[in-house]
Amino acid sequence: MRDQYHQQLDEVLTELERMTGIVSTAVRRSTSALLTADLGTAEEVIAADSQLDLAGEVVEEKIFDLMALQAPVAVELRMLVAALRMVADLERMGDLAAHVAKITRMRYPAAAIPVELHGLIEDMGRVAQRMVDQAGEVIKTRDVSVAQRIESTDDEMDTLRSSQFRQMMDAAWPYGVEVAVDLALLGRYYERIADHAVSMAQRIIFLVTGEMPASQ
């Protein structure tokens, strides 16, 4: 009976890992759609977000069933609580990727971002996707060192956001208010994806060590 229980616990983590793969794909595709004004891909990302939410609901049901039927304690209880909160993180990350795609849809058929700013968005999307992938690796391995590496990667996102603000506040900014608003929103979306990846890493550290690391 306990073997079956631990198998069910492992299945929860496997489902969370699978969800990180879905989010990673959403981040990559939404960034690509944004930079190429690809409405079809943007619509696919937006539509796929509901599938991620559905997957999250299935995982939540499994977690609540295990809590109700198995009365977990200690490490097992920590794992289920952490998993429940990571479902919320992943669902929100999916929402944020969909928000990126919605900017593509809103500005279509024009490109939302001028070519000169593509490098900044590419870098933000790349860092955000890497952090999602790292979160998946952390779930799979429960390796605290990998979890700590996510927090270091977050520094890259902070640097990119600082660069973004410098460009937008420059008196010579040539792209107008509309682009500035879109760029500010996009930067916030990517930054929040990164924040949720850090949150997931901290939950794994809590799972392994029993202590929640202090917020940076």
Average pLDDT score over residue span 98-112: 97
Beta-carbon count within 10 A of 95 CB = 18
Question: Domain locations in the chain?
Answer: 2-209
Sign for the pseudo-dihedral over CA of 62, 68, 74, 78: positive
Q: pTM value?
A: 0.93
Q: Report the pLDDT value the prediction gives residue 4, as an integer from 0 to 100.
A: 78
Average pLDDT score over residue span 75-80: 85
Average pLDDT score over residue span 139-166: 92
DSSP state of 71: -
Q: Report the pLDDT value the prediction gives residue 150, as an integer from 0 to 100.
A: 92
Higher pLDDT: 78 or 192? It is 192
Q: What is the CATH number of domain 2-209?
A: 1.20.58.220
Q: With cut-offs at 50, 70 and 90, classify the pLDDT of residue 214.
A: low
Compute the distance between CA of residue 64 and CA of residue 59 in angstroms, rounded to an integer: 9
Who's near 51: CB < 8 A, 6+ residues apart? 22
Tell whether the model's pLDDT for residue 216 goes beyond 70.
no
Q: With cut-offs at 50, 70 and 90, classify the pLDDT of residue 73.
A: confident
Q: Which of 143, 144, 142, 153 is nearest to 197 (CA)?
A: 153
Q: Which of 126, 119, 135 is nearest to 195 (CA)?
A: 135
Interval 19-66: pLDDT, tens: 999 999 999 999 999 999 999 999 999 999 999 999 999 999 999 999
Q: Report the pLDDT value the prediction gives residue 38, as an integer from 0 to 100.
A: 98
Interval 119-131: pLDDT, tens: 999 999 999 999 9
Q: With cut-offs at 50, 70 and 90, classify the pLDDT of residue 148.
A: confident
Q: Report the pLDDT value the prediction gives residue 107, as an integer from 0 to 100.
A: 97
Tell whether the model's pLDDT for residue 72 goes beyond 60.
yes
Mean pLDDT over all residues of the chain? 92
Beta-carbon count within 10 A of 121 CB = 21
Compute the distance between CA of residue 214 and CA of residue 35 in angstroms, rounded to an integer: 36
Q: Report the pLDDT value the prediction gives residue 29, as an integer from 0 to 100.
A: 98
Interval 176-213: pLDDT, tens: 999 999 999 999 999 999 999 999 999 888 877 777 66
Average pLDDT score over residue span 103-110: 97
